[in-house]
Amino acid sequence: MDLTIITGYFLALLVGVSLGLIGSGGSILTVPILVYILGFDAVTATGYSLFVVGGTALVGGVRNALQRNVNVSIVLLFGIPSLLAAYLVRAFAIPAVPHTIIDIGGLPLTKPLLLMIVFAIVMLIAAVKMIRSAPVTEAAAGISKSKLIASGTATGILAGAVGAGGGFLIIPALVFLAGMPMKKAVGTSLFIIAIQSLAGFAGDAVGKEIEWAFLLPFTGLAIAGIIIGSYLSRKIDGAKLKTGFGYFVLLMGAYILVKELFI
């Protein structure tokens, strides 16, 4: 087996560990791995990321459901708009964007370049939230259904556009808008990430040939990783880990912007 593929498969394990440890970060690692290590184009990578993150998050969501840490009504309220938005963006909006969006003085802005720039910006925002956020406490207010639906739609659009599950947005939304305790918010978030990501992948896969021989083993290793990460989360200080991971994501986001725009 090619050394590049072996490296990619090893890194897939780390994708799952990230989801298991901090409940987010899967897509932040998956897209760069697929693009810069394994050589996929940005459009394919963001689509494959949806399957990897969705499948992995589903396993984590089921584990949390068995432990009664998933609020099914919130999954439906937040998840259905998110699911629909992710599917529509991936099935119709992304294919409708031309390969070359605009040419400025001989410098073309292509669809893959735009996706990677937007993805890098999402990484930077996520990094800042991970580094600066104070511990999240349960909100006292009741459920704001309209805000939950709006938040679900927004995260679905994000997921469909750049292959990001949006755990760093979903968890605070569930805590502050639905008044959920943190532990249940993480479990519910994994279920929402799973359904929106898999819906986005379904929209992306229409009429395309999928490299299942690569994608299934890669996802399987990520699933093994989330089991390992869930075990390690009971032994590692989550706050310090999240801050350290935030600095790593910050460097990765900056690297992607520099590489795509200037190298």
Q: Classify residue 70 by burial, with Cβ atoms within 10 Å: 0-12, 13-18, 19+.
A: buried
Say if residues 249 and 39 touch (Cβ distance below 8 Å).
Answer: no
Q: How far apart are CA 5 and CA 26, in angstroms?
A: 19
The pLDDT value given to residue 172: 77
Highest mean pLDDT range out of 16-25, 82-91, 136-145?
82-91
Helix (H, G, I), strand (E, B) or coil at 110: strand
Q: 3-state DSSP call for residue 17?
A: helix
Percentage above 90 pLDDT, the chain: 51
Strand partners, 100: 110
- CA–CA gap between residue 186 and residue 229 (Å, rounded): 14
CA angle 30/34/214 to nearest 5° reads 100
Strand partners of residue 102: 109
Q: What is the DSSP string of 136-167?
A: P----S---HHHHHHHHHHHHHHHHHH----H
Q: Name the residue type at position 26.
A: G
Distance CA(151)–CA(141), nearest Å, equals 17
Domains of the chain, residue spans: 3-262
* Partners of 104 in the β-ladder: 107
Give the mean pLDDT of 17-30. Answer: 78
pTM: 0.87
Q: What tokens appear for 88 in the block? A: 């529509």
Over range 97-124, report the average pLDDT: 91
